[in-house]
Amino acid sequence: MRLLIVDDEMFSISGIMAGVNWDVLPFDEVLQANSYAQAVAVLEKKAVDVALCDIEMPGESGLELISWINEHRPDTICLILSCHDEFDFARQAVQLQCFDYVLKPMKYDHLTDVLEKAANAAEERTHQNVLTDYGKRYIDNLAKDVPEENEDVAEKAAAYIEAHLSEDLSVREIADIAYVSPDHLTRVFKKRFQKTVKDYITWKRMTLAGELLKNTKMTVTMVSDKVGFNNYSYFAEQFKRYYGMIPREYQARHRNSKER
């Protein structure tokens, strides 16, 4: 996770770097910029999760920078840093949908708390975006690949599985949802997907787990719960069987490849 600090006063940035308790924050990289132009140059090269922007800077202001971020990097959580406790600035911050407004001189324990909340919000936003994109891809593929005559029991069962991956699933429960017997569901499902219902559930769970480990900051335990495994050891065993490596190794490898 990346944080960008934008302030034209270097001593202010130095104070933040020295005063904030970074040990409790999830930022892997803290970037710095001293102007609107420098900040835009950074944002055009790297994805930034949280931006802490001073309002007053030479040339374009921090508010103008946040407006640019909202347009070009809408997934970035923005925080305002200012020595002005004035209604007009607060009003503009609200209009720009800033996450919080931190006054100078700031208390670093308070700033640490604000940064932690912003990081959590950024993580949740990323998580929701991944799930939304995954759902859109699934719907698009379903629309393209499923012949009209096969939009039947197997498709209803598959859609139910997709929507309930985090829950306990059984063939009998899914058959009841589709209003057929478990034996009938097993036959039509295998014919449609060339997989048993159980294998299909595992495949979908492992696919989603891989997406979440690659594209979010969720912990392995959080991912395990999200894809319906209450037993972490069993999840790790199934994941290794599917991907050829344990979840933490998979997550670390993909994080490293993104950073290069």
Identify which of 108, 177, 188 has the alpha carbon closest to the alpha carbon of residue 150: 188
End-to-end CA distance of the chain: 14
Residue 27 scores a pLDDT above 60? yes
The tens digit of pLDDT for each residue in 159-186 reads 999 889 888 898 998 988 888 888 888 8
pLDDT, position 148: 39
Burial of 212 (0-12, 13-18, 19+ CB in 10 A): buried
pLDDT, position 149: 37
pLDDT, position 33: 94
pLDDT, position 232: 84
**Long-range contacts of residues 225-228, Cβ cutoff 8 Å, at least 24 apart:** 225/166, 226/165, 226/166, 227/165, 227/166, 228/165, 228/166, 228/167, 228/168, 228/169, 228/201
pTM of the predicted protein model: 0.52
What are the strands of the beta sheet with 77-82, ordered from one edge?
29-33, 2-6, 50-54, 77-82, 100-103
pLDDT, position 150: 40
The tens digit of pLDDT for each residue in 77-111 reads 999 887 766 545 555 655 667 888 888 888 899 99
pLDDT, position 93: 58
Could you give all domains of the chain from N- to C-terminal order, each with its CATH number? 2-123 (3.40.50.2300), 146-259 (1.10.10.60)
The tens digit of pLDDT for each residue in 197-233 reads 999 999 999 999 999 998 888 888 899 988 988 888 8
